[in-house]
């Protein structure tokens, strides 16, 4: 299950960055393309985010994460590049 969590962490981080890129670079130049891409990118990011959080809760006891480590892993999902940091340092 840890390998699945690593993959989900990387994919969640990538989807987060793609969502930001859509908002920052495509929205000002092409509003139609922005609206077209928003739903599929947002939905995939949402599913990956929920999967990341659920897998973190499932792995908490088997990996013996203390409260501080678990908190860092959860907060990292809210920060750009945070899941990449977690994947390198904690997984």
Give the model's confidence band at 80: pLDDT under 50 very low, under 70 low, under 90 confident, else very high.
confident
CA angle 49, 42, 83 (to 5 degrees): 35
Task: Identify the residue whose tokens are 């495509």.
Answer: 26
Q: DSSP class of residue 79?
A: S
**What does pTM read for this prediction?**
0.84
Give the model's confidence band at 84: pLDDT under 50 very low, under 70 low, under 90 confident, else very high.
confident
Q: For the chain, percent helix, then strand, then coil, each to nearest 5?
A: 80, 0, 20
What tens digit of pLDDT does each residue of 21-70 get? 988 888 888 888 888 988 999 999 999 999 999 999 999 988 888 899 99
């Amino acid at each position: 299950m840890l390998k699945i969590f690593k993959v989900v962490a990387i994919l969640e981080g990538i989807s987060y960055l793609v969502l930001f890129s859509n908002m920052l670079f495509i929205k000002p130049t092409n509003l139609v393309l922005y609206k077209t891409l928003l739903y599929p990118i947002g939905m995939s990011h949402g599913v990956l985010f929920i999967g990341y959080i659920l897998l973190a809760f499932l792995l908490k006891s088997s990996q013996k994460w203390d409260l501080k480590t678990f908190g860092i892993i959860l907060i990292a999902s809210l920060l750009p590049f945070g899941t990449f940091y977690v994947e390198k340092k904690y997984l």
